[in-house]
Amino acid sequence: MLYGRTAETAAIDDLIGAAAAGAGRALVLRGEAGVGKSSLLDLAASRATAMAAPVVVLRAQGVEGEADLAFAALHQLLRPVTGLLGTLPGPQRDAVSGALGLAAPSADRFLVSAGVLSLLAEAAAGGGLLCLADDFQWFDRASADAVLFAARRLRTEKVSMLLAVRGDGQCKGVPELPVGGLDPESAVRLLDSKAVVAPGVRAQLVSLTGGNPLVLGETVALLSADRLAGRVPLPDPLPGGEQLFGEQVARLSGDARRVLLVASLESDLSLVLYAAAHLSAGDPSPGPEETSGNPRSDYGNPLEGRAMAGLHEAESVGLVTVSGEKVRFRHPLVRSAVHASASSVELRRAHAALAGLVEGDRRAWHLAAATVGQDEAVAAALAASAARAQARGGYGDAANAWARAAELTPEPLTRARRFKDASAAAWLGGRPGQAQTYLADARRLAALATGADGGLVEEIGQLRGRFELNSGDAAEAMRMLAAGRGMGMLADACEAANCVGDVDAIIEIGRRARAFPRGFVRDVVVGIGAMLADGSGGELLRGAVERADELAEAAEFLWASAAASYLGEADAAAELAGRAGRVARVSGMTGQLPVVLEYLSTAERLKGRPAESAAIAEEGLALAREAGYRNSEAAHLANLAVVAALRGEEEACRRYGEQALAIAVPHRVGLRVGVAAYALALLDLGLGRFAAAHDRFVAITRAGPGAGHPTVVWRTTPDRVEAAVAVGEIEAAREALAGLERWGEARSAESRALRLRCRGLLDGDAADFEEALRLHQEPFEGARTAMLYGERLRRTQEPGKARGHLRAALETFQRLGAEPWARRALDELRAAGEAAERPASDAWVALTPQELRIARLVAEGASSKEVAVRLFLSPRTIEYHLYKIYPKLGITSRTELARLL
């Protein structure tokens, strides 16, 4: 029976009720051991199954002994619903099946996590689903990552989650409810249910235990009648926690303590009895002839009889229970007390006994725990376990295994290599701090080792540079990577120099790359350097773009996108960035996805699709934060700032821009500093604050590497010309245009249109505006040219000609949600003599960014399962969004959606 807990019960009821109504949520119950979190989970289970439409309940409990076994907890949680795996999209099905050991492994942790979300949504299709995770702090990292990924994305699924955790177990991004001790009244009621206690003693016990129900109950059971009546003072300190259970463990026989020690490491009944029997005989390592059969088949010898008697003894005093083939502790504190009472020698002997009875990952970890000092055979077994975990996408657990294998490795270079592997796995698992620690160990060992492997040193150097580029100082990353000797490091150095905005470094890296044999990435690096140096390099870049159909990896498509961008072909750059995103989502390299989405989001914005750009940036921002990619986080924030500026959302623009600058400025990521600064300048320009906008654009041009970027300068020059003309700075505008023409003489039709618009603003030549309107491919920029031309015509007393251009601009701005620009066009249209009203909003404006992305993908012919894979959602979530999209657009089918688009 639960006492008190009114607030907790209300929160649980609200959680389950909301999920049953299609508003899935997760909640963390955080509190100290014994405070009653498990009882609250029991309450949730009973409430869920008692609902009118019974809710499916999935439950898993973290086990400290399995905390290093990738996906062990997830297997426990999902086992009842694995029959639904066939309903998942193929890539998600394969990833989850591989993680659970039901199919070939997949190294894609994001696909595994998305597949878990889809599987939970499928299992919830009836009355709903409740996931209960107890002792979440002991979930293996791969399982915890997958569960938290799903928990953070519960929206329209009929899924609720309760995660019970103690200590500092991390549950980032999930709301928490602290669970403390019972209130005094409820604590007294609990005490009265256990024994007759004098009022003064009751108050003392409640105060001394903090109302912890487990400690209260166990303490009362141990106190004498005289102490409870107040005739004898209470002991100081009270027995409690591990000390309380420790006293019970200490009173057991040696056979019972051995059984409990083995059970604290493995819960399988047969293993516990068999290993405990060998410990009783003083033989910690059963031989091959003893273990070649199934240990479950032999309970006949006297030692096993003693082990069974020890188990019965522990069970009779309530420390463990036997359920089927599992031995379960009454409370995690009992396990802690068993460990505290055992010596290190006894613990190692227990691990050694179990290592002789199990196989695979479990054997490797037991061997490691049984080993003192270094042992290559054990290290190799653990390294193989790490590789298996990594192949299934369990990067966090793989990192732990690689690191422990390194500690056990006697040979320095092999040890360094394993620390390097641990570092890479930790990074891919979204734990950058841990990754840096392991990499420092690898560097130190490689530097001290004689005959150091040059390839290993290069790999370590490249990892250092990549880590720094993703989360640290981009200029320092450029320096590290430029010191490398291979083409791989040189290409990474080019990427880093581009992030910094160091043109001289990009040119020098391109020059160095000429010494390497021709190849796709080499040609792009050389071409970019040549383009910046003297305008040559176009042939190499064109060749790279034309080879796009030969490419397979996300990183290659990003290089092709960069080549197209330097050629001034924004549409091709956007299309190639989109292909990079699609590959990254379904390959084993979704660790690249936050970075890929930076470029895809920018490409969508430049194509005049701000809503899609914002949706992609929001997804990328969430993934970057989960992965610990700080510089990618800045990129997505900066792009969200630009979209907000385009929409005239001043508060959001400033918030996103300031957050981006707070990361990008100290990290010297000049590209993102420039984009965030551009967002603030565009905001001023759109709102008609021309002097402020001009000052900001000038500041962008004067910012050096690490504080600005030449590409940002080039792309914002048309805006700078417009602001300069508006404030009468004609010479500054002409100087800016001259720079733009030097940069882009042979570039795309869109860039030519922008140059013509600038000339029209300066010279007033209608032919320049007319030609620009003919060439424009980007709707937002085309509408701006139409508006500026209309303004010019109205002021030269040609209102009739002005109205058509202003009306077209207004309609486009309205469709894009570019509010300040729409207001400006409307004001100009009225000034031109048209009694204009706002045109009816385009139906697309009613869609949320996520709905718009889903609508476009479905209109392109993608099935709900295919969209789910691309957006890391469940198919049921996609169907739910379509159910909302159709009425907003006034349609009823996918065919109509495709026709409408």
pLDDT in tens, 576-593: 988 888 777 665 455 678
Task: Indicate the range of 68-72, 283-287, 344-348, 618-622 predicted with least confidence.
Answer: 283-287
**pLDDT score of 416:** 95
pLDDT band at 596 (very low <50, low <70, confident <90, very high): confident
Token code pair at residue 838: 């706002």
The answer on pLDDT for 601 being more than 60 is yes
Task: Indicate the range of 10-19, 168-177, 751-760, 771-780 predicted with least confidence.
Answer: 168-177
Higher-confidence residue of 567 and 728: namely 728
pLDDT band at 454 (very low <50, low <70, confident <90, very high): confident
pLDDT exceeding 70 applies to what percent of the chain?
94
**pLDDT tens digits, 460-506:** 999 999 999 989 999 999 999 999 889 999 999 999 999 999 999 99
Nearest to 623 by CA among 68, 108, 75: 108
51, burial (CB in 10 Å: exposed 0-12, middle 13-18, buried 19+) = middle
CATH of the domain at 790: 1.25.40
**pLDDT score of 208:** 84
3-class state of residue 327 by DSSP: strand
Q: Are residues 159 and 48 part of one domain?
A: yes
104 within a domain of the structure (yes/no)? yes
Q: Are residues 167 and 214 part of one domain?
A: no
Q: Are residues 156 and 112 part of one domain?
A: yes
Do residues 449 and 410 touch, judged by C-beta distance below 8 A? no
* Cα→Cα distances 840→179, 505, 749, 855, Å: 52, 51, 31, 21
Give the total residue count for the chain: 901
511 within a domain of the structure (yes/no)? yes
pLDDT exceeding 90 applies to what percent of the chain?
53
Higher-confidence residue of 569 and 614: namely 614
Q: Are residues 776 and 871 part of one domain?
A: no
Q: Are residues 172 and 30 part of one domain?
A: yes
Amino acid at 164: A
Q: Are residues 154 and 33 part of one domain?
A: yes
Q: Note the pTM of the prediction, 2 decimals.
A: 0.80
The answer on pLDDT for 341 being more than 80 is yes
Q: Are residues 68 and 14 part of one domain?
A: yes
The answer on pLDDT for 848 being more than 90 is no
Q: Are residues 330 and 298 part of one domain?
A: yes
Spatial separation of the C-alpha atoms in residues 128 and 126, rounded to whole Å? 6
Q: Are residues 230 and 141 part of one domain?
A: no
CATH of the domain at 164: 3.40.50
pLDDT band at 294 (very low <50, low <70, confident <90, very high): very low
3-class state of residue 163 by DSSP: strand
The answer on pLDDT for 288 being more than 50 is no
Do residues 63 and 134 touch, judged by C-beta distance below 8 A? no
Q: Are residues 202 and 307 part of one domain?
A: no
Do residues 417 and 379 touch, judged by C-beta distance below 8 A? no
**CA dihedral for 756, 762, 767, 769, sign (positive or negative):** positive
Tell me the residue range of the domain where 851 lies.
845-900
Choose one of 529, 546, 563: the last residue of a domain: 546
pLDDT band at 509 (very low <50, low <70, confident <90, very high): very high
pLDDT band at 451 (very low <50, low <70, confident <90, very high): low
Q: Are residues 168 and 192 part of one domain?
A: no
| Mean pLDDT, residues 671-695 taken together | 96
pLDDT band at 869 (very low <50, low <70, confident <90, very high): confident
The total number of structural domains in the chain stands at: 6
265 within a domain of the structure (yes/no)? yes
Distance of CA 180 to the CA centre of its chain: 30
Q: Are residues 200 and 167 part of one domain?
A: no
Choose one of 521, 546, 571: the last residue of a domain: 546
190 within a domain of the structure (yes/no)? yes
CATH of the domain at 884: 1.10.10.10
599 within a domain of the structure (yes/no)? no
| Mean pLDDT, residues 37-54 taken together | 90
Choose one of 546, 566, 593: the last residue of a domain: 546
**pLDDT score of 327:** 92
C-alpha Rg value of the chain to the nearest Å: 33
Residue 193 burial (CB count, 10 A): 11
Cis before 235? omega within 30 = no
611 within a domain of the structure (yes/no)? no
121 within a domain of the structure (yes/no)? yes
| Mean pLDDT, residues 184-213 taken together | 88
Amino acid at 167: G
